[in-house]
């Protein structure tokens, strides 16, 4: 087993990983930027090393600095968390050159499965249904245009290097195709340094259901079941649950087998997620593979009783998975909400600042994975995710009741949070019946609120302010809803990946 692991991340996920290290008796070394000197991950780790100024390009995305810390701290493995460099094949390559174990898949698997068109091609070859569309990057607009016409509108233009919904454009009619193609291409070029696009049929009101897989280095690949992630704001997940209320044991088996086939084809080792869209007739279509731990991994942990981070570490250390997937059935129901420092009454404008006071929920079935504490200042420089609140119950109803109860107990002063959004979602009849789809929340938020008394001019001003904040952060704001902000570190990390490829 490893002696010391370098955690190449920050915030709640760095805390999550160092907790697993501590339980395994492994030392943890973390890195921090200038604004993170007082962060919780720095306080809790065994060792912490400064790696530069706040901008992630000068700190958390610097592979050379990470390798230097790993050498100085005498680490034997590196865990990337999610975001930043987690899906950047240059990191596992640098680790192997430095004689370190990367806790994740190989660079080859990352490239074979992580790039969107490569993943689609492998899915095709592995007999995994994909959303209809092109499997190669589009070379000529005329070809794509003809393809869109034969597929029939609406279609979705997507960035090959995509992430965080960037470079994605919904095209509803033929006349809009050329302009959408230009916009999506230049947005993708700006965000990822790669303007190549591909085309998918736009599925109307699908659900997002993803399968968690684990694969060891001895050929065993297992599915840990699915997560339902259809509650999204501008294509970013905000509430996740396991199991999915629409997935029957038969569908679970089929989706699990498809995910395992794909992982095998990509010679995948470690934890990964195969994302699918599911239509109203329970047909599922491959979307993409995330070659890393997901933000929403706790809901799978709660219903399987497994610790995914410890299993990632064990797999990287060469251990065999101790179970077969046929033996795993979800127990009870788990639901997670993503707590952000942002203001739902002000178009979800980020709300960094000092946390003056807080009360945290606890009690039966409640888990809080956070990276914050009272008196800490949430920096302006990163994704404003504070943490995740997760509830487990014997049934979906009990999980929801516990989550609502916990949200009532949760208070933070000094910064705004999106807690009120979850109070609203968790009391919506459609959500309670799980009659949801990937644009359900956006539609809900467009409906006037009974208690809302803001004028449309105020709403517009807030939207402009939010767009300006994101522009300042170097993040293009347009996605298929035009004007949606997306997760910064997801795209920043992938951009780095593109930059570093020959
Ligand atoms: P990204 O990697 O940029 O997040 P994904 O391909 O993972 O992009 O898709 C993110 C979300 O966008 C999906 O969960 C879904 O809501 C929406 N989406 C993506 N592709 C399609 C499609 N073909 N039809 C309908 N919605 C889609």
- Give the Cα separation of 233 and 239 in Å (integer): 10
Using the predicted structure, report yes or no on whether residue 358 has a pLDDT greater than 70. Answer: yes
Ligand 1 touching residue 202 (CB < 6 A): yes
- How are beta strands 27-32 and 47-50 bridged, if at all? parallel
Q: The tokens 């065999």 sit on which residue?
A: 320
Q: What are the pLDDT digits (tens) for 5-57?
A: 999 999 999 999 999 999 999 999 999 999 999 999 999 999 999 999 999 99
- In the annotation, is 292 catalytic? yes
User: For the residues 342-371, what does the mean pLDDT come to?
Assistant: 96
Q: Ligand 1 in contact with 241 (CB < 6 A)?
A: no
Q: DSSP secondary-structure letter at 89? A: T
CA distance 217 to 270: 8
Question: Residue 341: which pLDDT band, with cuts at 50, 70 and 90?
Answer: very high
pLDDT-derived band at 327 (thresholds 50, 70, 90) equals: confident
CATH of domain 132-201: 3.30.1490.20
Beta carbons of 223 and 212 less than 8 angstroms apart: yes
Q: What is the mean pLDDT of residues 60-87?
A: 97
pLDDT (mean) for 324-351: 91
Q: Does position 487 have pLDDT exceeding 70, yes or no? A: no
238 CB near ligand 1 (under 6 Å): no
Q: pLDDT value at position 448?
A: 80
Between 256 and 475, name the one with better pLDDT.
256
- CATH 3.40.50.20 occupies which residues in the chain? 4-103
In the predicted model, what is the mean pLDDT of residues 372-401? 97
Structure tokens at 353: 């600042």
Q: Which residue has the higher pLDDT, 451 or 438?
A: 438
292 φ, ψ (degrees, to nearest 5): -165, 180
CB 203 within 8 A of CB 287: no
Instruction: Output the pLDDT for position 329.
Output: 86
Distance between Cα 116 and ligand 1 center (Å) = 11
Tokens representing 165? 């919904």
- For residue 451, what pLDDT is reported? 53
Mutate to test the pocket of ligand 1, among 206, 228, 477 (most ligand atoms within 8 A of CB): 206
Contact predicate 195/158, CB 8 Å:
no
Average pLDDT in the chain? 90
Distance 202 CA to ligand 1 centre (A): 9
Q: Which residue has the higher pLDDT, 164 or 470?
A: 164
The yes-or-no verdict on residue 254 having pLDDT over 60 is yes
> Which atom of ligand 1 sits closest to the CA of residue 203?
24
User: Is 165 near ligand 1, meaning CB less than 6 Å away?
Assistant: yes
List pLDDT tens digits, range 172-206.
999 999 999 999 999 999 888 889 999 999 999 99
C-beta of residue 427 within 8 angstroms of C-beta of residue 450: no
**Section 259-276 average pLDDT:** 98
* DSSP per position, 285-314: EEEEEE-S--TTHHHHHHHH---HHHHHHH
What's the pLDDT score for residue 328? 83
Assess contact for 339 and 419: CB atoms under 8 A: yes
Cis ω before 243 (30° cut-off from 0): yes
Helix (H, G, I), strand (E, B), or coil: what is residue 15?
Answer: helix
206 ligand 1 Cβ < 6 A: yes
Of all atoms in ligand 1, which is nearest to the CA of residue 232?
A: 16
C-alpha span between 32 and 52 (Å, rounded): 8
Average pLDDT over residues 472-482: 37
Contact 8, 33 (CB under 8 A): no
Question: Which residues on adjacent β-strands are paired with residue 214?
Answer: 222, 271
Contact of 6 with 78, CB cutoff 8 Å:
yes
pLDDT at residue number 475: 37
Does the C-beta of 163 come closer than 6 Å to ligand 1? yes
Distance 410 CA to ligand 1 centre (A): 31
For a mutational test of ligand 1's pocket, the pick from 118, 160, 168, i.e. the residue with the most ligand atoms closer than 8 A to its C-beta, is 168
Say which range, 279-283, 300-304, 358-362, 477-481, has the weakest mean pLDDT: 477-481
Q: For domain 4-103, give the fold.
A: Rossmann fold (3.40.50)
Q: Is the CB of 167 under 6 A from ligand 1?
A: no
Q: Residue 325: what pLDDT?
A: 73
Token digits for 242? 């396991």
- Is 36 a pocket residue for ligand 1 (Cβ < 6 Å)? no
Contact 153, 173 (CB under 8 A): yes
Ligand 1 atom closest to the CA of 438, numbered from 1: 16
Q: Using DSSP, state whether 219 is helix, strand or coil.
A: coil
Residue 192 is predicted with a pLDDT of 85
pLDDT in tens, 450-471: 654 444 444 444 445 544 444 4
CATH 3.30.1490.20 positions along the chain are: 132-201
User: Can you give the pLDDT at residue 453?
Assistant: 44
Ligand 1 atom closest to Cα of 133? 23
Pocket test for ligand 1, best of 86, 123, 165 (most atoms within 8 A of CB): 165
Per the structure block, which two tokens stand in for 166? Answer: 């960037």
Is the pLDDT score of 59 beyond 90? yes
pLDDT score recorded for residue 287? 96
Which residue among 10, 62, 292, 495 is the active-site one? 292
Residue 152, Cβ density class (10 Å: 0-12 exposed, 13-18 middle, ≥19 buried): exposed
Q: Is 162 in the pocket of ligand 1 (CB under 6 A)?
A: yes
pTM tops 0.85, yes or no: yes
316 close to 201: Cβ distance less than 8 angstroms: no
């Amino acid at each position: 087993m490893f002696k010391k692991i370098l955690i190449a991340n920050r915030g709640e996920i760095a805390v999550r990983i160092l907790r697993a290290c501590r339980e395994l008796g492994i030392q943890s070394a973390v890195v921090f930027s200038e604004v993170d000197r007082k962060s919780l991950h720095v306080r809790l780790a065994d060792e912490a090393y400064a790696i530069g100024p706040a901008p992630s390009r000068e700190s958390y995305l610097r592979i050379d600095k990470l390798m230097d810390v790993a050498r100085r701290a005498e680490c034997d493995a590196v865990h990337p968390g999610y975001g930043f460099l987690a899906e950047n094949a240059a990191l596992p390559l640098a680790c192997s050159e430095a004689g370190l174990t990367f806790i994740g898949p190989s660079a080859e698997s990352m490239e074979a499965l992580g790039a969107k068109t490569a993943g689609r091609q492998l899915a095709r070859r592995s007999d995994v249904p994909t959303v209809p569309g092109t499997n190669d990057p589009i070379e000529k607009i005329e070809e794509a245009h003809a393809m869109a016409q034969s597929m029939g509108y609406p279609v979705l233009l997507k960035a090959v290097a995509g992430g965080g919904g960037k470079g994605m454009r919904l095209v509803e009619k033929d006349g809009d195709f050329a302009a959408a193609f230009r916009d999506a291409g230049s947005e993708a070029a700006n965000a990822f340094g790669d303007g190549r696009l591909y085309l998918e049929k736009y599925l109307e009101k699908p659900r997002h259901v993803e399968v968690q897989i684990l694969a060891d280095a001895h050929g065993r690949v297992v599915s840990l079941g699915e997560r339902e992630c259809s509650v999204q704001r501008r294509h970013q997940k905000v509430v996740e649950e396991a199991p999915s209320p629409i997935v029957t044991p038969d569908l679970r088996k089929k989706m699990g087998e498809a995910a395992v086939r794909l992982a095998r084809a990509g010679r995948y080792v470690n934890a990964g997620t195969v994302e699918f869209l599911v239509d109203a007739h329970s047909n599922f279509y491959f979307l993409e593979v995330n070659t890393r731990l997901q933000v929403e991994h706790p809901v799978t942990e709660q219903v399987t009783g497994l610790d995914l981070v410890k299993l990632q570490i064990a797999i990287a250390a060469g251990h065999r998975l101790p179970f077969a997937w046929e033996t795993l059935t979800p127990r009870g129901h788990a639901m997670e909400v993503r707590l952000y420092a942002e203001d739902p009454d002000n178009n979800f404008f980020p709300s960094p600042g000092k946390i003056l006071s807080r009360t945290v929920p606890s009690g039966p079935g409640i888990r809080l994975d956070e990276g914050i504490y009272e008196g800490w200042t949430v920096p302006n420089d990163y994704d404003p995710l504070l943490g995740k609140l997760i509830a487990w119950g014997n049934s979906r109803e009990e999980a929801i009741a516990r989550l609502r109860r916990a949200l009532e107990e949760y208070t933070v002063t000094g910064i705004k949070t999106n807690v009120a959004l979850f109070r609203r979602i968790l009391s919506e009849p459609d959500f309670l019946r799980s009659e949801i789809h990937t644009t359900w929340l956006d539609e809900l938020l467009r409906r006037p609120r009974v208690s809302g008394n803001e004028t449309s001019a105020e709403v517009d001003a807030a939207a402009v302010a939010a767009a300006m904040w994101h522009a300042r952060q170097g993040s293009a704001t347009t996605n298929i809803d035009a004007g949606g902000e997306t997760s910064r570190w997801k795209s920043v990390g992938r951009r780095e990946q593109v930059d570093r490829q020959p």
